[in-house]
């Protein structure tokens, strides 16, 4: 069964075994939240202890503190990524692991700013302090080193294992236009015609920081040909999606030139917006397990089936496997296939859609299509 995963957050895709190994290397003995609070009863060097912690996070999504606990839970994987070498190795290992799990191609995403604090220390801040200094004496070259390490992990996976991947540099919309501009500039520097790097807007809330707010900040990346994806239409709840209307999805495409949309569930509320997505060939990175866990859309109400019926380029993705418990697209499909009445033919179609909308060179795209076709010609089942 071959699959493609286009929406997977890097640190939230680390397996407990990887976290435990890195914790042992760096002698990390206490698990901490993103805010720095100690998590009692969790051994960061024990994979099973880590699994228990994240099962408790998943079980608590429905509570009032569910979302804050989810955000804080990123602190554990981030705490063990202590150097650019860690980043490169962890990207390499995750891509190889995804390939073993069935991925023809995997795209990881993350913000260099997210990793900067653990590599350079908690004293780092992000206020303006000079033309080449993103914050409190931290040279821009530190961010460049981090971003380069992430891309190097992708290059190594291809060079050593013929495992296909892309890294998508991200920023959080609520962190402001200065951070957005710096990440866009980093993406522009790293992007190459023969090895693309993507750019993503994540964060919350969507309505307060709409896509049009970042037109100028993203200009360096767009001028360099960096492909853009945007978390949009995610944070509105079924059935009216009022907190993230389909207009925000359209805005991401028309104002930012987004080639893909992360989540896009609010498209269910607008036939006109779906027509636009289909006519312009915009990829939709669907994450039904995530959307249900976060309380936005129940799996049985997810518009993925509608997207496929209407010919949109929808693919299936894992989003945050560490938190949501599904570490591969295969596992994700097994979780959502029955309630959405999806078949193996639908999964094949989503794989093809993923290849068509992947941030890769035309040569790599043809290679991926060739591998998939050879797999099917051998009579292998998806």
pLDDT for 63 equals: 72
**Domain positions in the chain:** 3-17+102-377
| Average pLDDT over every residue of 288-299 | 93
DSSP state string for 191-237: -BTTB--EEEEE-S-TTTS-GGGGTTTTHHHHHTT--EEEEES-SPP
Q: pLDDT above 90 covers what percent of the chain?
A: 83
Kindly report, residue by residue over 274-292, the tens digit of the pLDDT.
999 999 999 999 999 999 9
Instruction: Check residue 38 and report its DSSP letter.
Output: B
pTM (two decimals): 0.94
When pLDDT is cut at 50, 70 and 90, the band that residue 130 belongs to is very low
pLDDT for 123 equals: 44
Kindly report, residue by residue over 319-351, the tens digit of the pLDDT.
999 999 999 999 999 999 999 999 999 999 999
More confident site: 133 or 331 = 331
Q: Which helix (H) or strand (E) holds 33?
A: none
Query: CA 286 to CA 354: how far, in whole Å?
Result: 11
Query: CA 90 to CA 92: how far, in whole Å?
Result: 5
| Average pLDDT over every residue of 171-195 | 96
Contacts of 195 (CB under 8 A, 6+ apart): 151, 154, 155, 361
Query: CA 356 to CA 295: how far, in whole Å?
Result: 30
Q: How many CB atoms lie within 10 A of CB 40?
A: 7
pLDDT for 340 equals: 97
Say whether pLDDT at 379 is over 90.
no
Closest C-alpha to 10, from 198, 219, 263, 282: 198
When pLDDT is cut at 50, 70 and 90, the band that residue 381 belongs to is low
Query: CA 7 to CA 208: how far, in whole Å?
Result: 23
pLDDT for 108 equals: 98
Q: pLDDT above 70 covers what percent of the chain?
A: 94
| Average pLDDT over every residue of 203-222 | 96
pLDDT for 1 equals: 75
Kindly report, residue by residue over 219-276, the tens digit of the pLDDT.
999 999 999 999 999 999 888 898 899 999 999 999 999 999 999 999 999 999 999 9
pLDDT for 141 equals: 85
When pLDDT is cut at 50, 70 and 90, the band that residue 95 belongs to is very high
Query: CA 249 to CA 270: how far, in whole Å?
Result: 10
| Average pLDDT over every residue of 133-147 | 71
pLDDT for 134 equals: 46
Q: How many CB atoms lie within 10 A of CB 143?
A: 24
Write out the two tokens for 271.
């036939």
Angle at which helix 140-161 crosses helix 84-100, to 10 degrees, equals: 30
**How many residues appear in the chain?**
382
**Whole-number mean pLDDT of the chain?**
92
CATH of 3-17+102-377, one of 3.30.70.3270, 1.10.10.10, 3.20.20.140, 3.40.50.300: 3.20.20.140
Kindly report, residue by residue over 54-73, the tens digit of the pLDDT.
999 888 776 777 778 888 99
């Amino acid at each position: 069964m071959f699959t493609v995963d286009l929406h997977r957050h890097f640190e939230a895709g680390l397996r407990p075994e990887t976290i435990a190994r890195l914790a042992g290397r760096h002698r990390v003995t206490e698990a901490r939240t993103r805010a720095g609070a100690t998590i009692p009863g969790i051994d960061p060097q024990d994979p099973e202890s880590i699994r228990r912690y994240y099962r408790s996070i998943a079980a608590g999504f429905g509570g009032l503190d569910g979302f804050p606990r989810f955000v804080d839970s990123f602190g554990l994987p981030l705490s063990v990524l202590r150097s650019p070498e860690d980043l490169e190795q962890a990207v390499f290992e995750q891509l190889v692991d995804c390939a073993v799990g069935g991925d023809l191609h995997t795209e990881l995403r993350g913000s260099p700013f997210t990793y900067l604090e653990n590599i350079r220390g908690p004293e780092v801040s992000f206020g303006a302090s000079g033309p080449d200094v993103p914050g409190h004496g931290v040279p821009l070259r530190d961010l460049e080193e981090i971003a380069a390490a992430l891309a190097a992990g992708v290059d190594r996976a291809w060079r050593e294992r013929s495992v296909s991947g892309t890294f998508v540099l991200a920023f959080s919309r609520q962190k402001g236009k200065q951070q957005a501009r710096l990440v866009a500039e980093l993406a522009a520097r790293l992007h190459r015609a023969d090895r693309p790097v993507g750019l993503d807007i994540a964060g919350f809330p969507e309505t307060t920081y709409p896509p049009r707010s970042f037109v100028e900040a993203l200009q360096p990346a767009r001028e360099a040909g960096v492909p853009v994806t945007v978390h949009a239409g995610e944070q509105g709840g079924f059935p009216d999606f009022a907190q993230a209307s389909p207009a925000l999805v359209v805005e991401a495409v028309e104002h930012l030139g987004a080639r893909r949309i992360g989540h896009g569930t609010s498209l269910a509320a607008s036939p006109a917006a779906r027509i636009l997505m289909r006519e312009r060939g915009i990829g939709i990175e669907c994450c039904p397990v995530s959307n249900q866990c976060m309380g936005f859309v129940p799996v049985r109400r997810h518009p993925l089936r509608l997207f496929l019926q209407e010919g949109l380029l929808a693919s299936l993705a894992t989003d945050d496997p560490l938190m949501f418990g599904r570490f591969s697209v295969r596992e994700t499909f097994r979780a959502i296939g029955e309630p959405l009445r999806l078949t193996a033919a639908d999964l094949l179609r989503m794989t093809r859609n993923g290849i068509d909308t992947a941030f890769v060179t035309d040569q790599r795209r043809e290679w991926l299509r060739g591998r998939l076709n050879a797999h099917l010609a051998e009579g292998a089942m998806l």
